[in-house]
């Protein structure tokens, strides 16, 4: 009894900073979730109520921000706010499609390689090493350059192909450990089947890793698409896209700085929000 009391008294009490740190992380995570929800709402509702992003009115050339146009107009008299709403929706939809495709492809091939082994594992590892040897942006540029006219499908395929290898390598390594665990061996001896192993052992273990990778993949997809538009390899005008909007604003940055504030602000908030949610998951 005295020994237990001595050990309890010797245990250092948590400091004030240690107590408040999880609370600050929780607040930061809620703030990131709220900012992301506002962006998603803007992307969903904005294009429905703001009209055509390609509508031109040359009489409104480079109008400054006003009550009617909070972000002003561009060099063709187009509403910057309207174009920003359509560009945000395009970036988010493309990012979700790219991440979903890369996650399904990478997780499926990763589990298959870990489960089957042998020549299947060797072939899939060889293919993944080819993609690892090539810079991800180069893969996207090659696929986008092969498609004429800035094809949205080509950009989607390029970004998904550049990302699937991350899921494959992580899932293959983790699934190998899970499939070799005593619990999975016991399930095999009991004849519970592969579906039981996937549902009760693989999915619960892989879910946190896949969630974190998906958060990073969303950021990567949005930034990759914006980079392609910035270097004029991605989508072509008059389509509204964040990177393309930044490029179009460069000749007028000294007389119409409001043109660049919107797309840069959306990219910044989207990146910080997704990374903040990922940090919150890791901390938990």
Whether 12 is covered by a domain: the verdict is: no
Whether 108 is covered by a domain: the verdict is: yes
Mean predicted lDDT score pLDDT of the chain: 81
Q: Is the pLDDT of residue 1 over 60?
A: no
pLDDT more than 70, % of the chain: 84
DSSP E strands, the chain: none
Whether 243 is covered by a domain: the verdict is: yes
The DSSP result for 57-98, as a single string, is: -GGGTTPPP-SS-TT-B-TTS-BHHHHHHHHHHHHHHHHHHH
Whether 1 is covered by a domain: the verdict is: no
CA distances from 46 to 42, 70, 160, 254 (A): 5, 13, 27, 28
pTM for the whole thing?
0.81
Per-residue pLDDT tens digits for 161-198: 888 999 999 998 888 888 877 777 777 677 677 777 77
Return the CATH number at 264.
1.10.3720.10
Q: Is the pLDDT of residue 2 over 60?
A: no
**Are residues 53 and 83 in contact, defined by beta-carbon separation less than 8 angstroms?**
yes
Whether 8 is covered by a domain: the verdict is: no
Residue-number span of the structural domain to which 235 is assigned: 30-283
Q: Is the pLDDT of residue 111 over 50?
A: yes
pLDDT at 15: 54
CB-based burial label for 186 (10 Å; 0-12, 13-18, 19+) = exposed
Q: How confident is the model at residue 98 (pLDDT cuts 50, 70, 90)?
A: very high
CA 32 to chain centre: 14
CA distances from 168 to 10, 105, 225 (A): 46, 8, 22
Whether 158 is covered by a domain: the verdict is: yes
* Number of domains composing the chain: 1
Whether 88 is covered by a domain: the verdict is: yes
């Amino acid at each position: 009894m005295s020994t237990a009391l001595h050990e309890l008294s010797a245990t250092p009490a948590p400091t004030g900073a240690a107590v408040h740190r999880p609370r600050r992380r929780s607040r930061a995570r809620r703030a990131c979730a709220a900012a992301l929800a506002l962006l998603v709402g803007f992307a969903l509702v904005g294009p429905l109520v703001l009209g055509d992003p390609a509508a031109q009115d040359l009489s409104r050339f480079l109008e400054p921000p006003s009550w009617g146009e909070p972000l002003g107009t561009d060099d063709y008299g187009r509403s910057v706010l309207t174009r920003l709403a359509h560009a945000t929706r395009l970036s988010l939809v493309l990012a979700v499609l790219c991440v979903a495709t890369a996650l399904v492809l990478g997780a499926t091939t990763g589990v298959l390689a870990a489960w089957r082994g042998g020549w299947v594992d060797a072939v899939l590892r060889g293919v993944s090493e080819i993609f690892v040897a090539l810079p991800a942006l180069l893969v996207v540029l090659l696929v986008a350059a092969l498609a004429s006219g800035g094809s949205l499908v080509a950009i989607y395929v390029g970004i998904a192909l550049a990302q699937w290898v991350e899921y494959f390598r992580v899932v293959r390594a983790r699934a190998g450990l899970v499939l070799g665990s005593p619990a999975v061996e016991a399930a095999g001896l009991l004849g519970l089947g592969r579906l039981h192993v996937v549902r009760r052992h693989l999915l619960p273990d892989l879910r946190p890793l896949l969630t974190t990778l998906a958060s990073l993949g969303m950021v990567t997809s949005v930034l990759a698409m914006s980079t392609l538009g910035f270097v004029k390899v991605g989508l072509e005008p008059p389509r509204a896209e964040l990177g393309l909007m930044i490029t179009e604003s460069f000749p007028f940055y000294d007389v119409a700085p409001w043109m660049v504030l919107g797309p840069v602000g959306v990219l910044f908030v989207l990146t910080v929000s997704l990374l903040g949610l990922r940090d919150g998951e890791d901390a938990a």
